């Protein structure tokens, strides 16, 4: 099933699921088998799997194995968040409410991950971190997806399925609300280096089993991200106001002539 086209690896995994008619709860082939089938490294495959986990397409179960997830309408927690999607699309400042909840949840997520992460969880988290590091500033959308996959890998390592499902829903709402800003943030001067240091601090604290350090690192990271999102959103708002003003003045001038 090797493919030299431009189809992404996560998309190729979803094609495999469709071709083999795998249903919710069915186990995917082993990593070794899929890596050989796709002609990719196991690290690349794990990164792709983490992206699909973060999107709610797959689940990784304790004891080993990756499985097709239940449809979102059959998952109580994500389904409970679906009514908020309209707000996320229509309310410009809705992201602030989401970030406020993330501060609480992701601090706990990092804390419990440091206490409970298995060797496999730590390997997946490291793979998600290195996937981010491999993406350059010219691919902001890919970076945003890799960033979300890293945070979902932390939630997975916390070994709390409720927390993981809530986090998946929140990440989806955040993307609906400010997807453009999430991409633009990666163009800010020096931002990639700072985010890399913050993600590394979270990874290191979880890897060595320091729960309070992991919690503090997660809080520091999200506080920083929120401050940068405010800058991006304020700049975008100014640009929108300026554009409206210029259009209005042009219309007034046209009417007066």
- The domain that holds 45 is classified in CATH as 1.10.10.10
Amino acid 200: pLDDT: 97
Under the banding of pLDDT at 50, 70 and 90, the label for residue 205 is very high
Q: Mean pLDDT over residues 106-129, rounded?
A: 95
The burial of 33, by beta-carbon neighbours within 10 Å (0-12 exposed, 13-18 middle, 19 or more buried), is given as exposed
Kindly give the residue spans of alpha helices, DSSP state H, lying in 117-210: 119-133, 140-157, 161-184, 191-207
121-159 pLDDT, tens digit per residue, is: 999 999 999 988 888 777 777 787 788 889 989 999 999
Q: Do 186 and 220 lie in a common domain?
A: yes
Please check whether residues 171 and 185 belong to one and the same domain: yes
Number of structural domains in the chain: 2
- The last residue of one of the domains, among 42, 70, 98, is 70
Q: Which residue has the tokens 């993307």?
A: 175
């Amino acid at each position: 099933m090797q493919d030299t086209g431009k189809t992404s690896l996560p998309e190729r995994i979803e094609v495999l699921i469709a071709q083999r008619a795998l249903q919710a709860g069915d186990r995917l082939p082993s990593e070794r088998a899929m890596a050989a089938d796709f002609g990719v490294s196991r690290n690349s495959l794990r990164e792709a799997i983490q992206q699909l986990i973060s999107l709610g397409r797959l689940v990784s179960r304790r004891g080993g194995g990756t499985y097709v997830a239940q449809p979102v309408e059959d998952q109580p927690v994500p389904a409970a968040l679906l009514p908020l999607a309209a707000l996320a699309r229509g309310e410009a400042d809705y992201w602030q409410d989401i970030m406020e909840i993330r501060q609480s949840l992701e601090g706990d997520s990092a804390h419990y991950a440091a206490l409970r992460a298995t060797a496999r969880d730590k390997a997946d988290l490291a793979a998600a971190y290195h996937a981010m590091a491999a993406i350059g500033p010219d691919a902001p959308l890919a970076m945003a997806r890799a960033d979300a996959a890293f945070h979902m890998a932390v939630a997975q390592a916390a070994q709390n399925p409720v927390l993981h499902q809530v986090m998946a829903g929140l990440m989806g709402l955040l993307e609906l609300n400010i997807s453009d800003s999430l991409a633009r943030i990666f163009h800010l001067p020096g931002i990639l280096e700072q985010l890399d240091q913050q993600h590394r601090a979270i990874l290191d604290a979880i890897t060595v089993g320091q729960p309070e350090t992991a919690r503090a690192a997660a809080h520091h990271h999200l506080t920083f991200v929120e401050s940068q999102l405010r800058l991006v959103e304020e700049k975008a708002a100014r640009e929108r106001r300026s554009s409206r003003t210029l259009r209005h003045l042009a219309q007034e001038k046209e009417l007066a002539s």
